[in-house]
């Protein structure tokens, strides 16, 4: 049984390992020229807290030892589900028995930023190459603006501060990490970041960005102006599934799969950020990608006895130096869900969200005290 996997991220690697375990011959394609790496750790590479070699998942020899043919620097541009084949951008053609799409997501780059991204004044932080480009600039700049106050934006801001930069976050929502934290938890998070010296510009959209000196000047919706040599875009991602031969809708929104990670085509599976599950809110997560990849790798080799992916609650964990944040499950009050505060101070906020006696969510900002104990009691709903 020959399995072709497109994308060597968290889902692709997990799928490859599982398929090999079941006796398949696996070829794993990556358009990136680097050994597969832990994507969440690229922020530490960008801001000098680790080197690129520290974040590779496995050394080169591991792929040989595990009989996985790793094809780096090769973008797959065409999938043929009838012939069960893949074609690379260089015209190489490969035949398989099953194909797994694990192409992840792409960072959202708003139109105002496109030209400036090319000049290196605005940058997403999504790949190891982005991280290395940012790292190359750090020593020659003073000011960075992070656009987006989600978990990745906040981690980037903390690490940039640690690297000695003046840091501002621009967020168009009224509170930080609005998807993961209740307003009170988010308020404490803002306090902590401000105390550390990070400037927060909340509730404001970006109206204009133009070049100034060695950097750019950003004009926000209230008319405020802020200068930075580097603007980091951290406004989320969208499934990266624009490959010829995939259904049009899948190219736009991601590949819809069932809980066995099967698509509409019997020989095509999908996992990770590229896959969309019916009635489940999409959320970029390495943990989820890993779980789905295992299921896809296992099922692609079988003709029956398929296993199912068991979804888990949305979870965020952020630890850097003396900063700690956890959020899992439902964290906001709504209908019959009530937030119960465990501890609240200027620098700490811990609460659980309950429906009657059931804990449906936990959030902890500034301290992770007893998080594991509460997590054991969590009733996961999606």
Kindly state the smallest distance separating residue 152's Cβ from ligand FAD, in Å: 5
Kindly state the smallest distance separating residue 273's Cβ from ligand FAD, in Å: 4
Record the tokens describing residue 332, joined without a space: 């906001």
Site track for ligand FAD across 282-321, x = CB under 6 A: --xxxx-x--------------------------------
- Residue 78 or 212: the one with the smaller Cβ distance to ligand FAD is 78
- Residue 278 or 303: the one with the smaller Cβ distance to ligand FAD is 278
Record the tokens describing residue 212, joined without a space: 């100034």
CA atoms of 155 and 323, how far apart (whole Å): 10
Q: Which of residues 180-199 bind ligand FAD (CB under 6 A)?
A: none
CA atoms of 55 and 128, how far apart (whole Å): 9
Site track for ligand FAD across 116-135, x = CB under 6 A: ---------xx---------
Using CB atoms within 10 Å of the CB of residue 91, give its burial: 0 to 12 exposed, 13 to 18 middle, 19+ buried: exposed
Q: Does 6 bind ligand FAD (CB under 6 A)?
A: yes
- Alpha helix segments (H runs only) across 234-309: 248-253, 286-301
- Residue 31 or 339: the one with the smaller Cβ distance to ligand FAD is 31
Kindly state the smallest distance separating residue 169's Cβ from ligand FAD, in Å: 15
Site track for ligand FAD across 230-269, x = CB under 6 A: ----------x--x--------------------------
Position among 148, 245, 254, 272 found at the interface with ligand FAD (CB under 6 A): 272
Q: Could you tell me if 70 and 63 are in contact, meaning their C-beta atoms sit under 8 angstroms apart? A: yes
Q: 75 phi and psi, to 5 degrees?
A: -90, 130
Using CB atoms within 10 Å of the CB of residue 272, give its burial: 0 to 12 exposed, 13 to 18 middle, 19+ buried: buried
The continuous run of DSSP H or E covering 215 comes out as strand 215-220
- Residue 339 or 365: the one with the smaller Cβ distance to ligand FAD is 365
Q: Which of residues 70-109 bind ligand FAD (CB under 6 A)?
A: 75-76, 102-105
CA atoms of 45 and 106, how far apart (whole Å): 19
Q: Which of residues 20-79 bind ligand FAD (CB under 6 A)?
A: 29-32, 39-40, 42-43, 75-76
**How far is CA 361 from each of CA 1, 115, 352, rounded to the nearest angstrom?**
43, 41, 6
Q: Could you tell me if 274 and 289 are in contact, meaning their C-beta atoms sit under 8 angstroms apart? A: no
CA atoms of 24 and 40, how far apart (whole Å): 29
Position among 3, 4, 5, 9 found at the interface with ligand FAD (CB under 6 A): 9
CA atoms of 9 and 236, how far apart (whole Å): 17
- Residue 44 or 190: the one with the smaller Cβ distance to ligand FAD is 44
Q: Which residues sit at the interface with ligand FAD, rule CB under 6 A?
A: 6-12, 29-32, 39-40, 42-43, 75-76, 102-105, 125-126, 152, 240, 243, 272-274, 284-287, 289
């Amino acid at each position: 049984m020959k399995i072709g996997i497109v994308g060597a991220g968290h889902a692709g690697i997990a799928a490859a390992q599982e398929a090999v375990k079941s006796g398949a011959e696996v070829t794993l394609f990556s358009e990136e020229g680097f050994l597969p790496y832990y994507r969440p750790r690229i922020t530490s590479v960008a801001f000098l807290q680790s080197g690129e070699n520290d974040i590779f998942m496995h050394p080169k020899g591991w792929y040989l030892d595990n009989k996985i043919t790793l094809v780096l620097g090769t973008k797959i541009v065409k999938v043929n589900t009838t012939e069960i084949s893949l074609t690379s951008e260089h015209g190489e053609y490969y035949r398989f028995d099953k194909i797994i799409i694990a192409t992840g997501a792409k960072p959202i780059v708003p139109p105002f930023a496109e030209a400036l991204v090319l000049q290196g004044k605005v940058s997403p932080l999504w790949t190891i190459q982005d991280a290395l480009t940012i790292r190359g600039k750090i020593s020659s700049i003073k000011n960075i603006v992070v656009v987006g106050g989600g978990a990745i934006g906040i981690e980037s801001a903390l690490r940039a501060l640690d690297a000695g930069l003046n840091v501002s976050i621009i967020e168009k929502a009224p509170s930080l990490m609005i998807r993961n934290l209740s307003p009170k938890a988010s308020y404490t998070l803002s306090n902590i970041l401000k105390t550390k010296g990070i400037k927060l510009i909340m509730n404001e959209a970006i109206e204009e960005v133009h070049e100034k000196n060695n950097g750019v000047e950003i004009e926000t919706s209230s008319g405020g102006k802020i200068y930075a040599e580097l603007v980091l875009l951290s406004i989320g991602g969208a499934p990266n599934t624009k490959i010829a031969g995939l259904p049009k809708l899948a190219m736009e929104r991601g590949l819809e799969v069932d809980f066995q990670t099967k698509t509409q085509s019997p020989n095509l599976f999908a996992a990770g950020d590229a896959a969309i599950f019916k009635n489940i809110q999409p959320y970029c997560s390495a943990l989820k990608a890993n779980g789905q990849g295992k299921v896809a790798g296992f099922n692609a080799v079988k003709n029956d006895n398929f296993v199912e992916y068991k979804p888990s609650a949305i979870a965020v964990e952020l630890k850097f130096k003396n900063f700690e944040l956890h959020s899992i499950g439902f964290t906001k009050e709504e209908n019959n869900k009530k937030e119960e505060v465990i501890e609240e101070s200027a620098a700490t906020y811990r609460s659980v969200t309950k429906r009657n006696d059931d804990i449906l969510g936990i959030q902890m900002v500034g301290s992770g005290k007893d998080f594991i104990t509460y997590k054991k009691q969590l009733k996961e709903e999606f």
